[in-house]
Amino acid sequence: MIKEMKIIKYTTLKECFFAFSGLGTIGQLDKTVRFVGIDGSNKEYNIGALKWINNPNINCWGWARFDTKTIHIWISPDCDTKELIGCIAHEAAHLRRPKFKDTQKEEQKALNTELDAKFAYESTMEIMNND
Ligand SMILES: [Zn+2]
């Protein structure tokens, strides 16, 4: 782990989300926040907060806070190594600078890092198992 970053784990998605949503109610966030990413079946998702929290379609989710260099993460018992690596890499990318002012560009940066991390994991497993 990169030394200056910390990880805080939550037992439930709700807890993790409420920590994230400290500035507003879920109802307010539902109107303004979209959740985008790649689910466990490698499909892109882009949904409102309420729909998402009731059916996240993912086994881990996190958010990152730059001033404390902290990744906040919820991990379901069904989460596999590849999904968790992708999630941590995604949030770590949000702690990297430069940060794009355009939120879609910033999200794309994190998504690319997530995909690279998953590719690195799969490649590593394949290489290690073939030796
Ligand atoms: Zn992100």
C-alpha–C-alpha distance, residues 76 and 49, integer Å:
18
pLDDT tens digit string along 94-125? 999 999 999 899 999 999 999 999 999 999 99
Q: What is the pTM of this model?
A: 0.79
Q: What is the reported pLDDT for 58?
A: 83
Give the confidence band of 86 by pLDDT, cuts at 50, 70, 90.
Answer: very high
Bridge partners of 47?
35
Q: How far is the CA of 41 from the centre of ligand 1 (A)?
A: 18
Centre of ligand 1 from the C-alpha of residue 123, in Å: 23
pLDDT interval class at 9 (50, 70, 90): very high
Ion ligand 1: residues, CB within 5 A, are 107, 110
Residue 93 C-alpha to ligand 1 middle, in angstroms?
8
Q: Which among 49, 79, 50 is positioned nearest to 63, based on CA atoms?
A: 49
Locate the domains of the chain by residue range.
2-130
Residue 14 host element (H or E): helix 13-20
pLDDT at 124: 97
For 23-87, the DSSP string reads TS-HHHHHHH-EEEEE-TTS-EEEEEHHHHHH---SSEEEEEETTTTEEEEEE-TT--HHHHHHH
Q: What is the pLDDT of residues 27-77, one digit of tens each?
A: 777 777 777 777 768 888 788 877 777 777 789 999 999 999 999 999 999
